[in-house]
Structures are given as C-alpha cells and as structure tokens.
Structure 1
C-alpha cells in the first residue's frame, strides 16, 4: 500500500495524515524553490574542466573566468532536456556577450554526426561537448537528467539543479546570489 493512511511514500517514510498534507506540500514547495539555491560547499575552489566541442574547439571553464557558466548535462532521449533547450539557448544568447554562457554536456552514447544534426535542427548555438555517461563529474554528481551546475565568475560551483530550468530561474538565482551579503562576521562585530 502506497500513500493513504498507514502507507509509506517513495522515500520509505510513513505517509502524512490529511492534516499534515499542507506541511508536506509547503515543505516540497520550499525545497523546490531552494533546490537551485543550495550551495555546493565542497567546491570552494575553482573547478577545471576541458573538452572539445562539436566543432573541435577546446572548451575550458577557465576560459570563462569573469562570467557565470551554466554547465548543463543532458541527452537527446530526455524529454525535460528537450523542453529546457530553448530556455538555455535564450539565456545564452541574451548573456553570452556580457556576463554568462551556457556549456552543454551531452551525456550519452551517440555518434558525433548524429549529435551535430540534432543540435543544428534545434538551433542550439551554445557550445556542446560530449561526455561518457557517468554518475560523477568534475562538477559533482549527476543523479538524473537534465542536471545543471552554476559556476560563478571566480570558477566555483555555487549551485546544482536536477530538472529542467528556465532562463528566468537562472537569472533570478544569479541576481539573488550577487546581492547576498558575503559570508563573514556578523554586523557590528570585529
């Protein structure tokens, strides 16, 4: 029995009673909103990654120092990945000449020519590289696709999100992140 009184949800925890449903929904919404805001504390140092894109040009994270980099792991067979491609493209086009870029990492076993056609047919202009499917990447774990890592202008991973993104979500995070006070002593303390 799943859900219902006395059942267990997919996490294996007892189901909430009807009165607890609001708490569960509110908690879900809170975690969903904050999901993209979770800082990757283990990545306090710049991350380095280099790979050749579909045109043979080496793409290095360090080449983008001074800009935000959204590294997006995706696959052609992934419906949420396909849904977010136009959003990522719009974000890239809007920001590439100023403050941010997108780097797509195709994570599947697909021929180079087939991938080139796929990217061209969908009008993707941001750089796309290929990586063998793996659970761990230089940026952190990939639990599902799409998974995106946001790299700050100093080259540090500051956020990870599994699931489709919109350009607005990324812009909002960057705006909030850049407006947040730097960690340090509390106000009024030496």
Structure 2
C-alpha cells in the first residue's frame, strides 16, 4: 500500500503543479483582457466611422485623445454633447482628438440626426456589436477616457461632465505634451 500512496501523492502533486503553471501562464501571457484603467496604456481599437471608412486610435499616436462612449437615448450624453463640440473646436489646433463612440444604435440614421442636431464635427465611431464597449468595461453612459499624448489613460469619467470639468482635464492633457 505504501507504493500506491507514493504514486498517488506524486500524481496529485503533478496535477497541482500543472494547474498552477497554467494559471500563471494565462495571466502573464494573455488571459482575459481587462478594461483600461488610469495609468494603463490605451487599448487600441478601430471602428467604422459615421462618415465612412474606419478610424483607429493608432492613427492618433502622439496626440491627446478623449474617447466618449455615448448614446442618443442617454440624457447626460445629450447634455454634454454641445460642450464636447466646443472642446473639439477649442483644442483641435493643439492636437487634441475627440472621438465619440456610439453604442450599437440602429438605425444609424438616428445617430446621423443627433450629430446634425448638435453640429458635431469630431469623428463619430460606431460600435454596433458593442465589442469595444465591452473591452473598455463601459457599463454606464456616458463614460469618457482621457488619454495623454504618450497613450496613457489619465482619467476615466463615468457619467455626465460639465464643460468646466472637460476643459480642466483636457487642459491638463495639453500641458503634458
């Protein structure tokens, strides 16, 4: 019985070692992707643009980026859209890029009407399958990521923003350039 006990112990030890090795390997080499947090590098993405074609965050390397996840159905999104447009107009010459990511709304004509209503001229990207929303961990609308010119997330704001708040955070991103 002693010989069987030893082989059972070795089998259990080998199994535990495999489980631990698998756990360490998947967390170190690409297990589940977690949403970006303050201090993380921006997780790049590319989406179809409302204007046609595809726009990706990699196109704006070296520039501060504001990524606003929104929907036409969201009252705080409606309230902050004019202020986001004013921030676009104020900071575009300083290299700040504002990207609006619409969250899966169909028909797209509703998004087009919203953009026309508010005179939005910054790029509007479409996330019809909500893949980017899920990768970024967005659960409440609006959610906005403020990214510095080095590609590091500096602030994540869940919920509506005032124009003063936007101006302050974007101003800080400009100073970091």
The alignment's TM-score, normalised by the length of structure 1, stands at 0.65
Is structure 2 residue 71 aligned with structure 1 residue 75?
yes
Report if the CA contact (8 A) 1:46-1:155 is conserved.
yes
Unaligned runs of 5+ in 1: 1-38, 181-190
Distance 1:127 1:178 in 2: 19
Alignment of 1:172-187 (within 5 A): 172-176=168-172
Moved more, 76-85 or 49-58: 49-58
How much does 1:47 deviate? Answer: 2.3
The alignment's TM-score, normalised by the length of structure 2, stands at 0.69
Q: Report the count of equivalent residues.
A: 139
Aligned position for 2:10: none
> Could you say which structure has the larger radius of gyration?
2
1:40 is matched with which residue: 19, 22, 38? 38
Aligned position for 2:89: 93
Bigger share in helix: 2
Distance 2:175 2:112 in 1: 38
- Listed one character per residue, the Cα deviations across residues 43-96 of structure 1 (whole Å, up to 9, x for unaligned) are 2x3421111211113211121122211100111111000000000000011111
How much does 1:116 deviate? Answer: 1.2
- Listed one character per residue, the Cα deviations across residues 114-135 of structure 1 (whole Å, up to 9, x for unaligned) are 2112211221111111113469
Distance 2:118 2:157 in 1: 23
Is structure 2 residue 153 aligned with structure 1 residue 157?
yes
CA RMSD, Structure 1 to Structure 2 (Å)? 2.3
How much does 1:152 deviate? Answer: 1.1
